[in-house]
């Protein structure tokens, strides 16, 4: 009696060696394919072979460039790029000679661009500073950029024939837009600087330092706009790029925000101080907390102040943003208000002495304001327990700082002293009892 196998075993043939080898061979093939499919593996030689230039490639390159280049376009671009400025200079020179001939003014004209015409035409001196030169120079620069775009078209066609396939139309237009965008940003930068210094600094020379900071700020804005415009032209996904740059994680973002909050606040306050009219470097100021001195430097994060004690104090801009500022350098008038204490025995002389003091101050101080716009008075104000109190209130057309102020103040004191000596009056001086050191124990 033979062995009876189950039906499942009777239907299946016995396993063969190929059944075990096929999965292993498939896995090995995929591994070898993955090893050979690398970025550089086996690709260097084909790239180098594209630089081998044959006669057929040279002929194809020449034919392609011949189709791209248009003689009329090239001639016009070369003409405007090289001849615009010299032609404008000649026309300007002729115009200057005509104007000088009919106006009777002498004009010195030289064939060199370095020498300028010494007459005033259209508000400018010389060809280099004239509107004619600016127009010709800009037209010449536009033509030069056009030649560069033509050169980019030729290089793109050459690369396509060598085997580096590019979208010729796309590359040409992107390159042209990039060049003209960067050129326009640079020209706008110089035009902005010219406007600021021509129509602001010349009218208010004291604002030159402030205009310099504003000029740098506007430069940064122009650079940022140009950067994003160039990124848009290059089809850069700026939103994704910025997200990947600043995505430090929730904890990292929180730490960065907390650490940079004070710095950002100081920078904003420094920018506000720079572009505001509250103070400038070199001004003598007094802040609401009592700090006073000369402003040495206004930075983005802090301001340096030299006090009257010759101490250099550094103040964070966050503390200055909300403080009151008294800019004494911009005050054109000052006040001197001495207080005098008379004895009771001189009470009958006080009214006449005060009148004499007013007259003596008028003679001694020519800057004294006497037109009624500011008070000028010498008044008996109070009767104290041991003396009579008076004060003299004087205003002058002088700033409250500097050598002139202190010299004028000294003249006021000298005038008062002369009147007191003339009337044989000795001011009241409080006498305090002397305490012996042993009695304090």
- Cβ pair 358, 324 in contact under 8 A: no
Q: Greater confidence, 352 or 108?
A: 352
Least confident of 102-111, 137-146, 220-229, 428-437: 102-111
229 falls in which pLDDT band (50, 70, 90)? confident
The pLDDT, as a whole number, for residue 5 is 46
Give yes or no for residue 320 having a pLDDT over 60.
yes
Q: Choose the weakest-confidence range: 51-55, 314-318, 343-347, 351-355.
A: 51-55
Mean pLDDT value of segment 349-370: 93
Using the predicted structure, report yes or no on whether residue 191 has a pLDDT greater than 60. Answer: yes
Tell me how far apart the 2 most distant CA atoms of the chain are, in Å.
Answer: 162
Which tens digit of pLDDT belongs to each residue from 388-427? Answer: 999 999 999 999 988 999 999 999 999 999 999 999 999 9
pLDDT at 223 over 60: yes
- 238 pLDDT band (50/70/90 cuts)? very low
From the CB of residue 334, how many other CB atoms can be counted at a distance below 10 Å? Answer: 21
Q: Mean pLDDT across the stretch 194-215?
A: 75
The stretch 18-36 carries a mean pLDDT of 52
The larger pLDDT score, comparing residue 58 to residue 1, is at: 58
Rounded distance between C-alpha atoms, residue 398 and residue 336, angstroms: 11
Residue 38 has pLDDT above 60, yes or no: no
Q: What is the pLDDT of residue 113?
A: 39
The encoded tokens of residue 59 equal 């002929």
pLDDT score at 302: 82
State which of 37-46, 314-323, 350-359 shows the largest mean pLDDT.
350-359
3-state secondary structure the chain: CCCCCCHHHHHCCCCCHHHHHHHHHHHHHHHHHHHHCCCCCCCHHHHHHCCCCCHHHHHHHHHHHHHHCCHHHHHHHHHHHHHHHHHHHHHHHHHHHHHHHHHCCCCCCCCCCCCCCCCEECCEECCCCCHHHHHHHHHHHHHHHHHHHHHHHHHHHHHHHHCCCCCHHHHHHHHHHHHHHHHHHHHHHHHHHHHHHHHHHCCCHHHHHHHHHHHHHHHHHHHHHHHHHHHHHCCCCHHHHHHHHHCCCHHHHHHHHHHHHHHHHHHHHHHHHHHCCCCCCCCEEEECCCCEEEEEEECCCEEEEECCCCCEEEEEHHHHCCCCEEEHHHCCCEEECCEEEECHHHCCCHHHHHHHHHHHHHHHCCCECCCCCCCCEEEEEEECCCCEEEEEEEEECCCCCCHHHHHHHHHHHHHHHHHHHHCCCCCCCCCCCCCCHHHHC
**Higher per-residue confidence, 203 vs 432:** 203
Going by pLDDT thresholds of 50, 70 and 90, the confidence category of residue 375 is very high
Question: Can you give the C-alpha Rg of the chain in angstroms?
Answer: 43
Residue 356 confidence (pLDDT) above 90: yes
Give yes or no for residue 225 having a pLDDT over 80: yes
Q: What is the pLDDT of residue 130?
A: 80
Residue-averaged pLDDT of the chain: 75
Could you tell me the pLDDT band of residue 369, with boundaries at 50, 70 and 90?
very high
Q: Is the dihedral of CA 124, 126, 128, 134 positive or negative?
A: positive
Beta-strand pair 325-327/339-342: unpaired
Residues forming beta bridges with residue 368, ordered by sequence position: 396
Q: Answer yes or no: is pLDDT of 171 > 90.
A: no
pLDDT at residue number 395: 95
User: Regarding predicted confidence, which is higher, 397 or 320?
Assistant: 397
* pLDDT value, residue 116: 42
Tokens 């280049």, located at residue: 69
Confidence of residue 377 (pLDDT cuts 50, 70, 90): very high
**pLDDT of 313 above 70:** yes
Rounded mean pLDDT of 217-234?
A: 82
Least confident of 15-19, 27-31, 290-294: 15-19
Q: Which of the pair, 197 or 338, is modelled with greater confidence?
A: 338
Q: Considering only 73-87, 128-142, 246-260, which range has the smallest mean pLDDT?
A: 246-260
Give the pLDDT confidence score for residue 357 in this predicted structure. Answer: 94
* 140-167 pLDDT per residue, tens: 988 898 888 888 888 877 777 777 766 6
Report the predicted TM-score, pTM, of the whole model to 2 decimal places.
Answer: 0.48
Q: What is residue 378's predicted lDDT score, i.e. its pLDDT?
A: 93
């Amino acid at each position: 009696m033979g062995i009876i196998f189950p039906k499942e075993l009777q239907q299946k043939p016995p396993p063969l060696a190929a059944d075990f080898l096929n999965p292993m061979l498939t896995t090995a093939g995929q591994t070898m394919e993955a090893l050979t499919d690398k970025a550089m593996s086996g690709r260097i030689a084909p790239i180098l072979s594209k630089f081998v230039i044959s006669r057929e490639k040279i002929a194809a390159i020449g034919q392609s460039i011949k189709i791209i280049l248009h003689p009329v376009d090239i001639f016009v671009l070369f003409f405007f790029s090289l001849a615009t400025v010299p032609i404008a200079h000649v026309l300007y020179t002729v115009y200057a000679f005509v104007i000088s001939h009919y106006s009777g003014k002498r004009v010195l004209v030289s064939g060199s661009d370095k020498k300028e015409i010494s007459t005033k035409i259209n508000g400018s001196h010389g060809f280099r500073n004239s509107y004619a030169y600016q127009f010709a120079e800009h037209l010449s620069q536009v033509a030069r950029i056009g030649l560069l775009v033509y050169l980019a078209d030729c290089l793109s066609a050459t690369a396509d024939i060598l085997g580096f396939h590019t979208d010729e139309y796309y590359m040409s237009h992107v390159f042209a837009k990039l060049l003209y965008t960067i050129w326009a940003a640079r020209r706008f930068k110089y035009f902005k600087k010219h406007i600021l210094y021509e129509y602001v600094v010349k009218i208010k020379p004291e604002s030159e330092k402030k205009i310099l900071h504003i000029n740098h700020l506007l430069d940064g804005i122009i650079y940022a706009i140009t950067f994003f415009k160039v990124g848009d032209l290059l089809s850069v996904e700026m939103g994704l790029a910025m997200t990947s740059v600043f995505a430090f994680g929730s904890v990292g973002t929180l730490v960065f925000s907390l650490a940079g909050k004070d710095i950002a606040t100081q920078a904003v306050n420094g920018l506000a101080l720079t572009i505001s009219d509250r103070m400038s470097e070199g001004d003598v100021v007094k802040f609401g907390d009592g700090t006073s001195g000369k402003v040495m430097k206004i930075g983005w994060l802090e301001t340096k102040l030299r006090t009257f004690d010759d101490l250099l104090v550094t103040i964070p801009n966050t503390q200055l943003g909300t403080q009151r500022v008294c800019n004494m350098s911009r005050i054109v008038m000052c006040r001197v208000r001495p207080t005098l204490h008379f004895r009771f025995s001189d009470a009958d002389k006080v009214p006449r002495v005060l009148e004499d003091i007013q007259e003596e101050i008028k003679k001694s101080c020519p800057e004294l304001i006497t037109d009624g716009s500011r008070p000028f008075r010498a008044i008996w104000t109070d009767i104290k327990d041991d003396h009579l109190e008076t004060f003299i209130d004087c205003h002058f057309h002088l700033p409250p700082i500097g050598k002139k102020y202190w010299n004028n103040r000294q003249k006021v004191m000298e005038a008062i002293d002369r009147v007191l000596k003339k009337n044989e009056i000795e001011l009241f001086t409080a006498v305090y009892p002397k305490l012996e050191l042993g009695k304090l124990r």
